[in-house]
Structure 1
Amino acid sequence: MKVEIFIPCYIDQFFPEIAFHTIEILKKANCEVHYNPEQSCCGKPAFLAGKTKTGRNVAEKFLNDFSEKGYIVTPSGSCTDFVKTFYSEMFENASLHNAYKNVNRNIFELSDFLVNVAGVTSFDAGLNAIAIVHEHCSFSKLKKESGHIRTLLKNVNGLVISEFNDDMCCGLGNQFSSEFPEMAETMAKRKLETALDKNAEIIISSDMTCLLHFRKIIEKENYPLQALHISEVLTSKN
């Protein structure tokens, strides 16, 4: 199965290992992975910061960077949500309307693609730990994430999954953490302390933006927790 891979800008610049883990997983799922080195960003940072013209220009480039016909897989729930939710606002009845429709239909977050398209849920991974799953709020509202991640994690040898009692945001919230840093930190601490109360050693998510926010607080407060992307877990070995 041929897939095109979209590596979000922040992963490309700060967490390239997530891209390599994603490629490794897709190859194990019998996918032929194609990467366009000219790709850059989906437009989310600029658009949600109020730079709508810049965001739309970047989004147009995104549409032109992919073939429209094949699957597009990305290790980011938030970028997937942005394309599926906001591109309709940008491109409805525009010249790129058909391109948007095709990309909207074909783009998948990694765990969603593995479970519902590739049909591969076991990767011979192993991790002896108690973990808890954090769902990126914009993606989980589409009811797209929780079941997929848990389907994959139940096949990780040695991993025990605990659960949050609510779906509270980590506090990052696009521009929220920049405008209200103290409140954003309080929200992250509450989430992390809940994880510790449930004896979790690892917090797992499909989105590195949330995990970056968690990692900053974990380091600052010296919490005995790791924040790992789903791709890191699926490529781990005991």
Structure 2
Amino acid sequence: MRVGLFVTCLVDLMRPEIGFSVIKLIERAGFEVVVPPAQTCCGQPAYNSGERALARDLAEKTLREFEQFDYVVVPSGSCGGMIGVHYADLFRDDPDLMNRYGRVQAKVHELTDFLLNVAKIELPRGEFAGPVTYHDSCSGLRELGVKEAPRALLAQKGIAVTEMKGCEHCCGFGGTFAIKYGNISTAIVDEKCENIRASGADTVVLGDLGCILNIEGRLRRTGDTTTRVMHIAQVLTEGL
């Protein structure tokens, strides 16, 4: 079966190694992975900023590029939430688009949900060094219900998760929120970084690159040069 990988703008432009890890995992589960080369943004920044016309144009483009696949997999809760939830709002006045989207919507999965619940992947135990803690991204948790899947996959690898205080609390990124409300965003991410340190883990694992960039950036700017901040796909592919 064919999986269309929506690789996301941030992964494509800033951390392509995450994308290669994602491909390795999906292929290991026995699926063919296709990355449509013309894909761009899912439209979330425009949608969150009230630019509905632009967001809808991008949503239609994404729909055209991905409706051919058996599954659509997204290694990001925020982009996954946009495609899997909010496109319904953008297409609500167009019955044809809603019908097409309805067929695609059921096939959209966040990466860890797909690996565990659809592909039912079995991962070998590894030798990942050091304790880890997990940050639940807002969109993945609240829009897509992703909570247990990443932890179950880490357990397959023999990686124990030390839960931090406020693991479900926002990291302060929120896309354009971090730009518009920088002082509030900084206060939120400072609390997140303190909770990471207090957990005693030397690695924080998560499933959304926006959160990774925000948390890692703040850790480094406040003098923490050792705590690793990793996408779960990178952790799951170690040793494969």
TM-score for both structures, normalised by structure 2:
0.93
Q: Is the 8 A contact 1:28 1:123 kept in 2?
A: no
Runs of 4+ in 1 over 6 A off after TM superposition: none
How many aligned positions are there?
237
Tell me the amino acid that sits aligned with residue 184 of structure 2. M
- SS state at 1:65 partner: helix
Other-structure match for 1:228: 230
Other-structure match for 2:121: 120
Tell me the amino acid that sits aligned with residue 228 of structure 1. M
- SS state at 1:72 partner: strand
Other-structure match for 1:26: 26
How far has the Cα of 1:42 moved from its partner? 1.0
How far has the Cα of 1:2 moved from its partner? 2.1
Partners of 2:138 and 2:176 lie apart in 1 by 14
CA displacement, residues 83-114 of structure 1 (integer Å, 9 cap, x when unaligned): 12211111124131112111211011110000
Unaligned runs of 5+ residues in structure 2 are none
The question of 1:237 aligning with 2:209 is answered: no
Distance 1:123 1:145, change over 3 A: farther
The question of 1:67 aligning with 2:80 is answered: no
Counterparts of 1:125-204 in structure 2, within 5 Å, are 125-142=126-143, 144-157=145-158, 159-166=159-166, 167-204=168-205
Other-structure match for 2:50: 50
Unaligned runs of 5+ residues in structure 1 are none
Q: CA RMSD in A?
A: 1.6
Partners of 2:143 and 2:69 lie apart in 1 by 23
Tell me the amino acid that sits aligned with residue 222 of structure 1. G
Tell me the amino acid that sits aligned with residue 54 of structure 1. L
Q: Is the 8 A contact 2:2 2:69 kept in 1?
A: no
Distance 1:26 1:59, change over 3 A: same
Partners of 1:10 and 1:78 lie apart in 2 by 11
How far has the Cα of 1:68 moved from its partner? 4.5
CA displacement, residues 144-166 of structure 1 (integer Å, 9 cap, x when unaligned): 21200000001224x33111233
Q: Is the 8 A contact 1:123 1:235 kept in 2?
A: no
- SS state at 2:221 partner: helix
Q: Is the 8 A contact 2:164 2:198 kept in 1?
A: no
Q: Is the 8 A contact 1:69 1:102 kept in 2?
A: no
Identical columns (%):
30
Q: Is the 8 A contact 2:125 2:157 kept in 1?
A: yes
- Identify, as 1 or 2, the structure richer in strand: 1
Q: Is the 8 A contact 2:172 2:189 kept in 1?
A: yes
Partners of 2:46 and 2:9 lie apart in 1 by 12
CA displacement, residues 15-55 of structure 1 (integer Å, 9 cap, x when unaligned): 11111110011111111111211111211111112211111
